[in-house]
Each structure stands twice: as structure tokens, then as C-alpha cells.
Amino acid sequence: MEKTKGLHRAWLVMLGCGMLIAGSVTFYTVVIGNFFVPAAADLEVDYSSISLYTTVVYLGIACGLPFVGNLLHKIPPAGIAGFAALQSAIVALLAFSDGIVFWWIGGFFIGVGMSFTSIVFISTVLTNWFTKKTGFAIGAAWGLASIVSAIMSPLSVTLMDAIGWRSAMIVFAAIGAALAIPAALFMVSYSPDRKGMKSYGYEQVAGAEGETEPLVGVPAKHALKSMSFVLVALALALTQIVSVINAYFPVYAESVGFAPTVGALMISVALIFDIVLNATVGATIDKVGAIRGFVSWMAVSVVAMVILMFSAGQPLLAYLGAGLGDALYVLLGVGIASVVSHVFGTKDYGKIFAYISMIGFAAGSVGGFVITRLYEVTGSFQMVFVFCIVVCVAICGCVLLANALGKKLPRVSDDGAIPDE
């Protein structure tokens, strides 16, 4: 088989996916948190009201996900670029809002657009393009997005100080569009077949004819009715709830008297840690297994919350807690995905994971509201961190029980055979 000379196009696709993630997902769910404090003050609303933006974004994602699987292979690059443009256009329009309702309506449609540019799309595209090193490619794409967002977070605060939050939001949206739209149009392609190419690593796999093992796992019809399915979906929902705390670091920083730049830098530190943690968490799971790896890193998240509880007046501790706490965000992706694969196998993995994601995003959409409401009721982020610790322990319980019950579920291979126990 003829080998492609030079760098395989798959790496350009991976780069484009990273730009697309940055210009949509991380910009408009994490970095946008820097705008919450000044926007809430200007609109004369409380934090819980503006935090509903995050809630409705995730509701929008949940509503869009059922259509993604069926439509994704039919949508041309211009369509994906259109969904990216929709998100940036709505964010720019938020700069002209004079009430909180537009944030909620806009957030929902941002979420719908984001369902076509986030985890399902990125995972599918990179799985199509990478026969080998698929996990590395997915992690690298998210890592690239984290690098860009880590730069954008303090820059957004600097812009707000210089030109006000409304003008800064327009610039912010323009940068997001400049990253995502060209990436969708010219760099990201659904599959190598459309370019008349083979995926990266195809030669190594195809060269060993007959050695491809059948996919083995729990049939979807059994998995979707099982308690393990309910528990993993609950684990995803709870992880979703506590992982959004990254977006509220600016609110925490203000509440304990830090300068606004500290909150922005906490987000940047979390994003920088995200670059390393994506690979590290994945390597841990590869080494010790999905369940033990997941629980171990959830324990690190508990430690991070404890550190944040004692970080008032100590910016270095705040940065450390923010960085380690990003393990929650990483577990939301590679962690839950690995747990689903371990508990249910690979036979109907895509279908099972899609339903778990839909339920998880819908239920977890209340995360922003819960966190800010806890803060407003108690007047302190201490109870927020305690809440996160309790939820992290509950997540571990869900995953461990799901794994134990999952061992009793029937497994078959995609060739119809029943594998040996």
C-alpha cells in the first residue's frame, strides 16, 4: 500500500478540531465566566440569575444531541461553520442586552449549536481520521483548546478593564469566530474517505489481515434498561454539576477580596492543568483500569476542594486548588467515556454513550444554578466546596456500584458470538 508522504492530513484535522473546540466550547462555557461579575452588576441581577446561562447552554446541548448522531455525517463543513457562527453571533449580541432573559434565550441556542461542535462531533471525526493514536489525538485537540483559552481568559479581563465588558464581549465573540469558522471550513473534515484518503495508522492495522478482534459488550437493549446505565448517567450528571465550578472562579475571587485578575488567572491555571491532566488521567486509566483510575482522580478533586476552602487571602493556594480541581473537567470527558467502555464494552458503545450524554447534560444543566444559589444563601463559597466534596464521594459510589452490577449483564460480540467469561 502506498504511504502518504509528509505529514498526514489527520494532524491538520486534529489541529482544526482544537481550534473549533476553543472557539466554541471552552470560550462559551468556561472563559465566558469572566464576564459574569460585571454583567450581573450592570444588569442589576444576582449571580444565580446570570448563572442560569450555563444551565440553559447545557440544556441546549442536551436537546441538540439526539439529532447529532443522525445528521452529523450529512452536514457539510459549511454547516458546521454555520453552527460555530451561530454561537459567536449570539455571544456578540449579549453585549447589547439590557436584561437577563436574553442571556437565557441566547444560552439555549448557543447550546444547540454547541451540540454539533463539541464532544460527539470531535470524538467521531477524530475516530474516523485516526485508526492509531485516537486517544492521543482527542486529548491533544482538547489540550490545544485549553492553551488558547488559557491565553484568552486573562486577555478578556484586560479588555474589560480597558473598554468595558460589553465591547470586550464583542471582541471575545469575534476571536471565537476567527478560530472556529475557518477551522470548520478548511481544516476539519468528517472522514478521510471524503478526501480520498485513508486514516492515520490504517496501514499498520490493515496490514495484519484477520487479526481485528470483534467488538464485545452489552447489547444496547439490555444496557439501557439496566441499573448500571442509570448509575453511570447519574455519575455523569453529578460530575457535570460540580465541574462547572471552573466558570465561577471569578465570583469566588471577588467574594474573598481578591483582585479580578486572580479569578481570571484561576481559570487560566485550570486550563493549563487541563493540558497536562488530559494525558495524565488517560495514562492512569490505561495503567490501572477505568474504575480505579476514575476513582483515584476523583479523590484528587476532593483534595482540590479542600485546598480551595483554605485559599482565602492566599492566591497561590487558590491557583493550586483551581489547577488540581480541573481533574473534574477532565473526568467529565475521558473519565466517563472510559467508564462507559469498561462497564458496557465496545459493541454498542456509541449508542449507549450518546444516551448517557443526553441524560447527563440535561440533568447536569442545573450545576451553575446550584453552585451560585448555595453561595447566595450561605454568603460564602465554603459550603459550595463542601457540597462539591460530598458530590465527588457520591460519584465514586455510583461508578463503583455500576461496575459491580455491570459484571452481571449479558455480553455478546458483534459477530453474534457469546464471549467466554
In this structure, are 27 and 68 located in the same domain?
yes
Contact (Cβ atoms closer than 8 angstroms) between residue 358 and residue 65: yes
Is 268 among the domain residues? yes
Domain assignment present for residue 328? The answer is yes
* Residue 67 and residue 119 in one domain: yes
Tell me if 267 is assigned to some domain: yes
Q: How far apart are CA 369 and CA 50, in angstroms?
A: 9
- Please name every residue paired with 345 in a beta bridge, in sequence order, or none if there are none: 217
Is 206 within the bounds of a domain? no
User: Using CA atoms in the order 274, 279, 284, 286, what is the torsion angle rounded to 10 degrees?
Assistant: 140
72: domain CATH number? 1.20.1250.20
Residue 319 to residue 410: CA distance in whole angstroms: 46
Residues 293 and 156 in one domain: no
> In this structure, how many other beta carbons lie within 10 angstroms of the beta carbon of residue 104?
17
Lowest mean pLDDT across 164-178, 275-289, 302-316, 377-391: 275-289
- Lowest mean pLDDT across 182-186, 233-237, 300-304, 357-361: 357-361
How far is Cα 83 from Cα 90, in angstroms, rounded to an integer? 11
Residue 217 forms beta bridges with which residues?
Answer: 345, 412
| Global pTM exceeds 0.85 | no
The count of other CB atoms within 10 Å of the CB of residue 233 is 25
- The residue that leads in pLDDT, 279 or 155, is 155
Domain count, the chain: 2
Do both 96 and 235 map to the same domain? no
Q: Is the same domain home to 16 and 155?
A: yes
The highest-confidence range among 73-77, 226-230, 355-359, by mean pLDDT, is 226-230
* Cβ atoms < 10 Å from Cβ of 418: 10
Same domain, 223 and 277: yes
What residues have CB less than 8 Å from 42, skipping those under 6 apart?
165, 166
Nearest Cα neighbor of 125 from 273, 20, 249, 7 is 20
Entry field: residues in the chain: 421
- Model confidence at 294, pLDDT cuts 50, 70, 90, reads very high
Q: Do both 89 and 188 map to the same domain?
A: yes
| Count of C-beta atoms within a 10 Å radius of residue 256 | 16
Average of per-residue pLDDT values in the chain: 85
Kindly state the average pLDDT of the residues 276-305. Answer: 88
Domain hosting 99: range is 8-192
How far is residue 59's CA from residue 367's CA, in Å, rounded to a whole number?
A: 11
Among 193, 143, 202, 127, CA closest to 353: 127
Is residue 274 a part of any domain in this protein? yes
Q: Are both 40 and 111 inside the same structural domain?
A: yes
Inter-axis angle of helices 349-364 and 119-129, nearest 10: 160
User: With DSSP H G I counted as helix, E B as strand and the rest as coil, what are the percentages for the chain, rounded to 5?
Assistant: 80, 0, 20
Q: Torsion-angle region of residue 12: left (phi > 0), alpha (psi -120 to 50) or beta?
A: alpha
DSSP 220-287: HHHHTTSHHHHHHHHHHHHHHHHHGGGGGHHHHHHHTT--HHHHHHHHHHHHHHHHHHHHHHHHHHHH
Q: Is the Cβ–Cβ distance between 21 and 123 less than 8 Å?
A: no
Name the grid cell of 91: 455571544
Distance from C-alpha of 365 to C-alpha of 52, rounded to nearest angstrom: 9
Based on the domain organization, do 276 and 398 belong to the same domain?
yes
d(CA 281, CA 279) in angstroms, rounded, equals 6
Poorest-pLDDT segment among 10-14, 191-195, 245-249: 191-195
Please check whether residues 183 and 231 belong to one and the same domain.
no
How confident is residue 1, by pLDDT bands cut at 50, 70 and 90? Answer: very low
Same domain, 117 and 155: yes
Which residues, including other chains, have CB under 8 Å from residue 408's CB and lie 6 or more apart? none
Give yes or no for residue 390 having a pLDDT over 70.
yes
What is the three-state SS of 170-218? HHHHHHHHHHHHHHHHHHCCCCHHHHCCCCECHHHHHCCCCCCCCCEEC
As a whole number, mean pLDDT of residues 115-140 equals 77
Judge if 158 and 55 occupy the same domain: yes
Q: Report which of 33, 95, 80, 335 is spatially closest to residue 182, judged by C-alpha positions.
A: 80
Cell of 377: 444563601
Residue 203 covered by a domain? no
Helix H or strand E segment including 83: helix 77-94
Asked whether residue 335 is domain-assigned, the answer is yes
DSSP single-letter state for residue 345 = B
| Whether residue 107 has pLDDT greater than 70 | yes
Is there a domain that residue 314 lies in?
yes
pLDDT at 333: 75
Highest mean pLDDT among 91-95, 201-205, 364-368, 416-420 belongs to 91-95
Helix axes 36-43, 47-71, angle to 10 degrees: 120
Q: What is the pLDDT of residues 201-248, one digit of tens each?
A: 766 544 444 444 456 788 888 998 999 999 999 999 999 889 888 878
Looking at this protein, which amino acid is placed at residue 73? Answer: H
